[in-house]
């Protein structure tokens, strides 16, 4: 198996002040192309430490992707470190000087002298074009490894990896097991619950499964060879096993809802225990937020005595009142918080009204509580739109009561 290492540079990443989103993105891209990342190293802006790291990695890895430190300032040291590791000097790439000069000219400016530093590459290195910035990449062979040097700015990094580095890697290493990733988004099952369900699945050797839990959802990734004729059957089996806990195939819950709504459907939200989480979340999908007529957030006060009859009356009254003010196709409601982690939800549609009272089985912080409440609220609408039972089964929640009016 190929050994693929990523070296990230920079104090901000080392100290965890910023998340290394490039690393997450790169490992996913590499995996889909048949290269699995084996190791990741992060070092600060230290010339010698980085040189040593590059040298060490070049001895044991086949592919090394170095990210960051190609800027024009004095703490951008990657090219110098690479030269030190390879025991060569730096030389100016006139091609890149011309390129930068042209880029500055295009925006009516003269290139600052500081940028010349960005054209200084280790002797013998091959330039890698950066069509969207002044930090060019470069590649060189050292010991066992091919080293690729890339800029830290995510947009520049991504273009360079996609357009320049991955095609080269595929040619150089003749990797034939590039894969397609099929995604299923689920809500309501735990990771171990899903893996229990999948025990009956026979996974072909060419396929692999990955999970990514981003509370409250679990995204299931099936990596499979392109055009593999077993995949449609396998995916079909997975979908059958997961049942109505699938909130989206290839897209998330809110986008699934957006795709299901008819053109003229409108929404009204009335939130209490979810505290505005639902309406704010809705704004992430513009085709949903465009359907919002109005939304209200009422102060939340723990209601100690709510029972299901009161609940349904409350939800019905609120939907009625809202309907008078701002008629909409669907009204989604979260009621007051109840004692012991309870909450109530209502969905009012042209076909009737559904209410339920649920309870958390474990403790969550306030933010996650609002997120989960909003998730179940939207899941009621998704289920209704798909003609499924509006009251789903959720591993982490108990249903205390439910009513269909």
Using CB under 8 A as the criterion, which residues of the chain lie in contact with its own copies when the complex forms?
Answer: 14-21, 23-28, 31, 37-44, 46, 49, 53, 56, 210-213, 269, 275-280, 282-284, 286, 289-290, 292-300, 366-367, 370
Q: Which is nearer to its own copies, 294 or 308 (CB)?
A: 294
CB of 337 to its own copies, least distance (A): 11
Q: How far is the CB of 37 from its own copies (least distance, A)?
A: 6
Euclidean distance between CA atoms 157 and 174, whole angstroms: 23
Give residue for tokens 């209601």.
Answer: 303
CB of 14 to its own copies, least distance (A): 6
Encode burial over 343-361: b for 16+ CB neighbours within 10 A, e otherwise.
Answer: bbbbbbbeeebbbbbbebe
CB of 20 to its own copies, least distance (A): 7
Which one, 118 or 274, has the nearer CB to its own copies? 274
For the bound state, the minimum distance from the C-beta of residue 390 to its own copies, rounded and expressed in Å, comes to: 24
Taking only Cα atoms into account, the Rg of the chain, rounded to an integer number of angstroms, comes to 27
- Residue 253's closest CA among 214, 290, 198, 291? 214
Q: Which is nearer to its own copies, 43 or 242 (CB)?
A: 43
In terms of CB distance, is 97 or 292 closer to its own copies? 292
Closer to its own copies by Cβ: residue 41 or 308: 41
Say what angle helices 47-60 and 78-86 make with each other, to 10 degrees.
50
Phi then psi for residue 338, to 5 deg, are -110, 170
CA dihedral (137, 72, 22, 3) in degrees, to 10, reads 50
Shortest Å distance, C-beta 310 to its own copies? 21
Of the pair 1, 113, the CB lying nearest its own copies is at 1
**Nearer Cβ to its own copies (370/382):** 370
Measuring CA to CA, which residue among 51, 46, 60 is closest to residue 85? Answer: 51
Calpha distance 225→141 (Å, rounded): 30
| H/E element, 239 | helix 231-242
* Smallest gap from residue 24 Cβ to its own copies (A): 3
Nearest approach, Cβ of residue 42 and its own copies (Å): 4
Distance of CA 350 to the CA centre of its chain: 35
Distances from the Cα of 89 to the Cα of 67, 74, 81, 124, 130, angstroms = 21, 18, 10, 9, 23
Cβ distance to its own copies smaller for residue 274 or 349: 274
């Amino acid at each position: 198996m190929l050994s693929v290492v990523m070296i990230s540079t920079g104090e901000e990443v080392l100290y965890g002040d910023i998340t290394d989103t490039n690393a997450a993105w790169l490992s996913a891209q590499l995996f889909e192309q048949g290269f699995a990342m084996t190791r990741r190293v992060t070092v600060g802006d230290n010339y010698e430490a980085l040189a040593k790291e590059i040298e060490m990695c070049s001895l044991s890895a086949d592919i090394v992707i170095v990210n960051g430190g190609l800027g024009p300032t004095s703490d951008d040291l990657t090219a110098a470190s690479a030269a030190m590791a390879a025991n060569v000097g730096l030389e100016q790439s006139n091609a890149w000087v011309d390129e930068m000069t042209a880029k500055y000219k295009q925006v009516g400016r003269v290139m600052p002298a500081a940028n010349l530093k960005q054209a200084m590459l280790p002797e013998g290195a091959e330039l890698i074009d950066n069509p969207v910035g002044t930090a060019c990449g470069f590649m060189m062979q050292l010991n066992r490894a091919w080293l690729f040097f890339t800029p830290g700015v995510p947009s520049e990094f991504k273009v360079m990896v996609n357009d320049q580095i991955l095609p080269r890697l595929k040619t150089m290493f003749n990797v034939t097991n590039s894969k397609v990733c099929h995604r299923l988004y689920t809500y309501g099952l735990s990771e171990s619950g899903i893996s229990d369900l999948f025990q009956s699945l026979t996974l072909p050797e060419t396929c692999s499964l990955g999970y990514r839990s981003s509370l409250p959802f679990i995204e299931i990734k099936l990596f499979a060879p392109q055009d593999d004729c077993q995949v449609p059957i396998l995916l079909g089996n997975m979908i059958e096993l997961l049942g109505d806990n699938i909130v989206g195939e290839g897209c998330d819950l809110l986008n699934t809802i957006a795709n299901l709504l008819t053109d003229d459907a409108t929404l009204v939200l009335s939130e209490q225990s979810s505290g505005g989480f639902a309406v704010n979340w809705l704004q992430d999908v513009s085709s949903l937020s465009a359907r919002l007529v109005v939304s209200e957030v009422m102060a939340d006060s723990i209601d100690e005595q709510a029972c299901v009859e009161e609940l349904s009356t409350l939800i019905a009254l609120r939907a009625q009142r809202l309907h008078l003010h701002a008629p909409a196709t669907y009204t989604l409601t979260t009621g007051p918080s109840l004692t012991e982690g309870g909450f109530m939800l209502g969905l009012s549609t042209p076909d009737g009204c559904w209410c339920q009272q649920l309870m958390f089985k474990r403790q969550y912080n306030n933010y996650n509580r609002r997120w989960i409440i909003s998730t179940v609220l939207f899941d009621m609408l998704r289920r209704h739109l798909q003609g499924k039972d509006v009251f789903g089964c959720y591993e982490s929640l108990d249903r205390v009561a439910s009513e269909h009016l």
